[in-house]
C-alpha cells in the first residue's frame, strides 16, 4: 500500500532548501546553540600594574596613577584623545625639578600636538604651554623654542580652520615669552637673519585672507605693479572666520609686527621717559639730534653712549661756559650704515604696507558702523576697529619715520584716514550719554582709537616740508588739499580737550590721561604745535596738577615741556613758534616744587628737573629776576627752618650720591649765572652738606661763585 502524502512531505522537507525573502532575516534552526555572552566593565583609573614597592624601589616621581615622565611622553602619542591630553601638568606641577632637565624632549613632543585633530587636546595644550613657559627662564627657553615655532608655523597652513586658529594662539603665547625668536628671519627692517619669522608672517596674513609671500629675491617685487595679491577667500571677508578669531589674528599680527619692526629701531630710546623720534625732523643732521636727545638723558646712559662712540668729547656737562667743541663740526664724521637706507628694507616695508592695506580697509568698513549703535556698543567690533587702527599706525608710522615711505604709501594712508575721519572723535556726542559710566573698557577703547587716528594725521603732517609755501601737498587730480583743514582742526581741538581733561570720561567729570595715553599724544602735539591753543594747553598741563596723581605722567609732561623750551632756543633747529615768556617763567618757577614732589620717590623725575634747570641756565634763558626767584625757591630743597622743629633737611639729603652731586653742580651754575640774591641759597647748601661726605666736593665748587 503506497505511503500517505503527509509522510512524503515530511520526508522531503528534510532535504528542501528554504526560500529567503527580501527584508526578512534567515530563520534560525531549531537546534542552534546560543553562544553570546554579556560582561560588565569596571574602571579603576588609579590602578596600575606597578606596585608601590616597585615605585619606591625605582625612586622615580610618578602621578597618582603611578605613571612616570617617560610613560606620559608615550601617552602623548596615544590614539585616544583623553589619554593624550592628561598627566603632564600633574607630574610637573608636583615635581618642578623635572622641567629643566627634560625641557628638550618635553617641548619636542608636545609641539607635535599643535596640529592635533581633537579640539580638547589642543585646548589642553594651550593651557599647558601658558603654565609651563612661565616657569622656564627666557635664556633657557630660547634654544628649545625652534620645535614649537616650526610646528606652529606649519599649523598656520592646516586645512582645518580651528587648527589654524589654535596655532595663532600658540604663536601669541610665544610672542609674550620669546618675541625675538619668533620674529627672527622676518627682516622687515633690512637686517640679516635666519628664522621662522617670514614664514609665520606669511601664515598670519594667509589666515586673514591675504595671499602672496615675502620672497627672498626682491627682483620680482620691483617688477610687479600690484603687490596686494588676494586669495580666493577675499581680503577681510572670509566667512569661516568669526569675529573673535579675526580679533585674535589681528592682535597677534600687531604684536608680531611691533617686535619685528622694533628690532634695531632707530626710534627706540632706552632709558628715556618719553619718545623723542618726532623731534628729529627739526634738526639738520642726525648728530645734532642725538646731542639734543642727550641733554636730558640719564647720566649713566649718557656715560655709556660716550664710551660706546668712536669719538671722545670733553662734555663738560656741568660748567657754565662753552663746551669746548662744536657739535655741528661732527657732521662730517662718517657713520657706517647711516648715510643711506637699505633698499631691501624700503621694498619689504612697501610690500608689507600694500599687502595689508586692503585688509585694514575692509575690516574697518565692516565693523566701524556698529560703533554708532544708539543702544549698546558691541565689544567685538570695537576690538576689531582698534586693532585695525593700531596696525595702520604701526606700519605707516614705521615707514614714514624711517624715510622709506613713497607716494603709494602716502596715498594709501590718505585713503585710510578718509575712511576713519567721519567717525572721529569716536564715542563722543550723543553716543557718550548712552554708554554706562562703569564701562571703562569701552571708554578706554574709544580713547585708544582717537589717539591712534590723531597720530595718523600727525604722521602725514610731519612729511610736509616747513618751507613749503602751500603748507599742504596738493592732490594730482585737483587743487583740493589731501589733508582737509577740517581734519587738522578736529584733531587739534581733541588734543586741547584731552590735555584739559574734557574727554574720555562721563559728562561733568574730569579725566586724567594715563602714561600710555599721554606719550601716545606727544607726536601729535609736536606735529600740531603751530595750531592755535596746542602749545599753551601743553604748558598748562605741565604746570597744573593734572598729572599729580600719577608721577610717571607728571615726569613725562615735565620732560616734554623742557624739551620744547630747549628746542625753541636751539639755533640749529627749524623755525618754531615762539613761546610766551610769561608762561615759560611761570612753568620754570614751578620746577623747584616739582623737584620737591619727586624727591627720592621718583629719582628719574628729580634728575630731569635738575637737568632742565641746568640746560636752560647754560643757554642763558633766565633773566635776573627769574634767577633770584629760582634760588629762593630752591632753598627748601636742601634745608629750611621750621618754627617749632627747627632746621629740617629737604629731599636732597635722601638722594643717591650721583644725584646729590648733580644738584650741587646745578646750584653752582645758577649762582654763577648772575643776579643779586645768591647768599641765601649758598648758606642753605653750606648747612645741608656740613655733615655729609660731599662737604669737600661743595668746597671746590663754592669758591668759583665769588660771593
- pLDDT at position 168 is 92
- Percent of the chain at pLDDT > 70 equals 72
Flag whether pLDDT at 541 surpasses 80. yes
Q: Are 381 and 371 in contact (CB under 8 A)?
A: yes
The cell for 285 is: 643732521
Mean pLDDT, range 376-381, rounded to an integer: 78
Q: What is the pLDDT of residue 563?
A: 92
d(CA 426, CA 445): 9
236 band by pLDDT with thresholds 50, 70 and 90:
very low
Does the pLDDT at position 627 exceed 50?
yes
pLDDT one-digit tens code per residue, 389-401 = 999 888 888 888 8
Per residue in 136-195, pLDDT (tens digit) is 888 888 988 898 999 999 998 888 888 989 999 999 999 999 999 898 888 777 667 788
Across 35-44, 117-126, 499-508, the highest mean pLDDT is recorded for: 117-126
pLDDT at position 369 is 87
What is the mean predicted confidence (pLDDT) over 432-440?
54
Cis amide prior to 425 (ω within 30 degrees):
yes
Instruction: Look up cell 522537507; give the residue.
Output: 13
DSSP 3-state assignment of 660?
A: helix
- Asked whether residue 418 carries a pLDDT value surpassing 80, the answer given is yes
Cα–Cα distance measured from residue 88 to residue 90, given in angstroms and rounded to the nearest whole number: 5
**Cα–Cα distance, 542 to 537 (Å, whole number):** 9
Cell numbers of 361, please?
A: 580697509
Identify the pLDDT of residue 609: 92
Confidence of residue 43 (pLDDT cuts 50, 70, 90): low
How far apart are alpha carbons 607 and 594 in whole angstroms?
11
The overall average pLDDT reported for the chain is 76
Q: Which residue has the higher pLDDT, 194 or 666?
A: 666
As a whole number of angstroms, the distance between CA 523 and CA 258 comes to 18
Show Cβ contacts of residue 173 under 8 Å, excluding neighbours closer than 6 positions: 126, 129, 130, 133
Q: What's the pLDDT at 335?
A: 40
Percentage of the residues of the chain whose pLDDT score is greater than 90: 8
Residue 159 buriedness (CB in 10 A; 0-12 / 13-18 / 19+) = exposed
Q: Which grid coordinates belong to 517?
A: 595715553
For residue 538, count other CB atoms closer than 10 A to its CB.
22
The pLDDT assigned to 174 comes to 92
Sign of the C-alpha dihedral, residues 491, 496, 497, 499? positive
Span 517-527, average pLDDT? 88
* Listed ranges 1-5, 78-82, 128-132; the one with the highest mean pLDDT: 128-132
Helix (H, G, I), strand (E, B) or coil at 646: strand
**Per-residue model confidence (pLDDT) at position 169:** 93
Give the span between the Cα atoms of 436 and 173, in whole angstroms.
33
What's the pLDDT score for residue 332?
Answer: 38
107-137 pLDDT tens trace: 888 888 888 888 888 888 888 888 888 888 8
What integer pLDDT is reported at residue 231 of this predicted model? 39
DSSP category for residue 258: H
CA–CA separation, 694 and 536 (whole Å): 41
What DSSP line would sit under 317-354, residue for residue? Answer: TT-SS--SS-GGGGGGS--TTTSS--HHHHHHHHHHHH
Quick one: pLDDT at residue 282?
84
Rounded mean pLDDT, 491-506: 80
At residue 347 the predicted structure's pLDDT band, cuts being 50, 70 and 90, is: low
Q: Does the structure show a pLDDT above 70 at 199?
A: yes
pLDDT for res 527: 86
Enclosing H/E stretch for 589: helix 581-589
Q: Is the pLDDT of residue 355 over 90?
A: no
- Residue with more model confidence, 78 or 483: 78
Residue 587 above 70 pLDDT? yes
Q: Are 63 and 91 in contact (CB under 8 A)?
A: yes
What pLDDT digit, counting tens, does each position of 294-330 carry?
888 887 644 444 444 434 443 434 443 444 444 443 4
Contact (CB, 8 A) for 672 and 704:
yes
User: How large is the average pLDDT for residues 95-112?
Assistant: 83
Q: Which three cell numbers stand for residue 703?
A: 669758591
Residue bearing cell 629719582: 603
Phi, psi of 267 (to 5 degrees): -95, 0
Best CA proximity match to 171, nearest among 262, 255, 76, 274: 255
Write the Ramachandran bin of 706: left for phi over 0, alpha for psi from -120 to 50, otherwise beta: left
**In this structure, what is the dihedral angle of CA atoms 87, 89, 94, 95, given to the nearest 10 degrees?**
100
How many alpha carbons fall within 13 Å on the CB side of residue 539? 19
Q: What are phi and psi of 312, to 5 degrees?
A: -90, 135
Confidence of residue 226 (pLDDT cuts 50, 70, 90): very low
pLDDT tens digits, 260-292: 887 545 444 445 578 888 888 888 888 888 889
Per-residue pLDDT at 331: 40
62: left (phi over 0), alpha (psi -120 to 50) or beta: beta
Task: Please state the rounded mean pLDDT for residues 24-47.
Answer: 76
Instruction: Say which residue the cell 550719554 belongs to.
Output: 433
State yes or no: pLDDT of 234 exceeds 50.
no
pLDDT at 473 over 80: no
Amino acid at each position: 500500500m503506497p505511503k500517505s502524502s503527509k509522510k512524503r512531505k515530511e520526508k522531503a522537507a528534510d532535504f528542501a532548501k528554504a526560500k529567503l525573502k527580501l527584508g526578512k532575516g534567515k530563520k534560525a534552526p531549531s537546534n542552534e546553540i546560543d553562544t553570546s555572552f554579556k560582561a560588565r566593565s569596571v574602571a579603576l583609573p588609579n590602578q596600575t600594574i606597578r606596585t608601590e614597592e616597585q615605585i619606591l624601589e625605582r625612586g622615580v616621581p610618578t602621578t597618582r596613577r603611578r605613571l612616570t615622565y617617560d610613560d606620559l611622553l608615550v601617552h602623548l602619542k596615544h590614539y585616544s584623545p583623553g589619554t593624550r591630553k592628561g598627566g603632564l601638568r600633574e607630574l610637573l606641577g608636583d615635581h618642578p625639578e623635572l622641567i629643566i632637565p627634560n625641557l628638550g624632549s618635553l617641548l619636542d613632543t608636545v609641539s607635535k600636538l599643535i596640529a592635533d585633530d581633537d579640539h580638547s587636546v589642543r585646548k589642553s595644550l594651550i593651557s599647558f604651554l601658558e603654565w609651563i613657559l612661565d616657569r622656564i627662564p627666557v635664556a633657557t627657553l630660547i634654544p628649545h623654542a625652534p620645535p614649537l615655532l616650526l610646528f606652529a608655523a606649519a599649523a598656520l597652513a592646516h586645512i582645518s580652520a580651528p587648527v589654524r586658529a589654535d596655532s595663532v594662539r600658540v604663536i601669541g603665547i610665544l610672542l609674550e615669552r620669546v618675541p625675538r625668536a619668533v620674529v627672527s628671519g622676518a627682516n622687515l627692517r633690512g637686517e640679516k637673519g635666519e628664522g621662522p619669522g617670514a614664514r609665520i608672517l606669511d601664515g598670519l596674513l594667509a589666515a586673514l585672507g591675504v595671499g602672496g609671500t615675502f620672497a627672498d629675491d626682491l627682483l620680482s617685487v620691483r617688477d610687479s605693479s600690484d603687490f596686494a595679491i588676494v586669495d580666493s577667500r577675499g581680503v577681510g571677508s572670509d566667512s569661516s572666520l568669526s569675529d573673535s578669531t579675526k580679533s585674535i589674528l589681528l592682535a597677534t599680527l600687531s604684536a608680531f609686527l611691533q617686535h619685528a619692526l622694533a628690532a634695531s629701531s632707530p626710534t627706540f630710546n632706552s632709558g628715556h621717559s618719553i619718545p623723542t623720534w618726532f623731534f628729529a625732523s627739526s634738526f639738520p643732521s642726525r648728530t645734532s639730534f642725538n646731542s639734543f636727545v642727550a641733554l636730558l638723558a640719564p647720566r649713566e646712559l649718557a656715560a655709556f653712549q660716550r664710551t660706546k662712540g668712536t669719538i671722545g668729547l670733553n662734555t663738560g656737562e656741568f660748567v657754565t661756559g662753552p663746551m669746548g667743541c662744536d657739535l655741528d663740526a661732527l657732521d662730517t664724521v662718517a657713520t657706517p650704515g647711516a648715510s643711506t637706507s637699505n633698499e631691501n628694507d624700503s621694498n619689504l616695508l612697501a610690500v608689507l604696507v600694500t599687502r595689508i592695506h586692503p585688509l585694514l580697509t575692509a575690516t574697518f568698513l565692516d565693523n566701524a558702523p556698529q560703533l554708532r549703535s544708539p543702544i549698546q556698543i558691541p565689544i567685538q567690533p570695537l576690538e576689531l576697529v582698534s586693532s585695525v587702527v593700531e596696525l595702520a599706525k604701526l606700519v605707516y608710522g614705521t615707514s614714514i619715520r624711517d624715510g622709506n615711505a613713497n607716494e603709494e604709501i602716502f596715498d594709501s594712508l590718505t585713503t585710510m584716514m578718509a575712511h576713519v575721519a567721519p567717525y572721529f572723535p569716536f564715542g563722543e556726542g550723543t553716543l557718550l550719554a548712552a554708554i554706562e559710566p562703569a564701562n571703562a573698557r569701552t571708554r578706554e577703547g574709544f580713547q585708544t582709537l582717537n589717539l591712534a587716528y590723531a597720530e595718523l594725521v600727525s604722521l602725514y603732517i610731519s612729511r610736509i616740508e616747513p618751507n613749503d609755501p602751500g603748507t599742504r601737498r596738493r592732490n594730482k587730480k585737483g587743487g583740493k588739499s589731501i589733508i582737509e583743514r577740517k581734519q587738522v582742526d578736529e584733531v587739534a581741538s581733541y588734543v586741547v580737550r584731552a590735555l584739559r581733561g574734557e574727554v574720555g570720561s562721563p559728562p561733568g567729570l574730569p579725566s586724567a590721561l594715563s602714561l600710555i595715553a599721554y606719550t601716545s599724544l606727544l607726536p601729535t602735539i609736536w606735529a600740531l604745535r603751530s595750531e592755535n591753543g596746542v602749545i599753551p594747553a601743553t604748558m598748562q598741563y605741565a604746570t597744573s596738577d593734572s598729572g599729580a596723581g600719577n608721577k610717571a605722567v607728571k615726569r613725562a609732561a615735565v620732560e616734554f615741556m623742557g624739551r620744547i623750551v630747549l628746542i625753541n632756543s636751539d639755533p640749529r633747529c627749524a623755525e618754531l613758534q615762539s613761546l610766551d615768556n610769561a608762561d615759560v617763567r611761570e612753568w620754570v618757577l614751578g620746577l623747584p616744587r616739582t623737584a620737591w614732589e619727586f624727591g627720592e620717590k621718583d629719582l628719574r623725575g628729580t634728575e630731569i628737573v635738575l637737568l632742565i634747570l641746568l640746560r636752560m641756565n647754560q643757554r642763558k634763558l633766565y633773566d635776573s629776576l627769574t634767577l633770584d626767584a629760582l634760588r629762593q625757591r630752591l632753598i627748601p630743597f636742601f634745608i629750611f627752618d621750621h618754627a617749632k622743629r627747627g632746621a629740617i633737611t629737604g629731599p636732597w639729603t635722601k638722594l643717591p650720591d650721583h644725584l646729590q652731586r648733580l644738584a650741587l653742580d646745578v646750584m653752582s651754575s645758577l649762582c654763577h649765572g648772575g643776579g643779586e640774591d645768591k647768599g641765601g641759597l649758598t648758606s642753605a647748601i653750606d648747612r645741608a652738606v656740613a655733615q655729609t661726605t660731599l662737604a669737600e666736593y661743595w668746597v671746590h665748587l663754592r669758591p668759583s661763585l665769588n660771593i
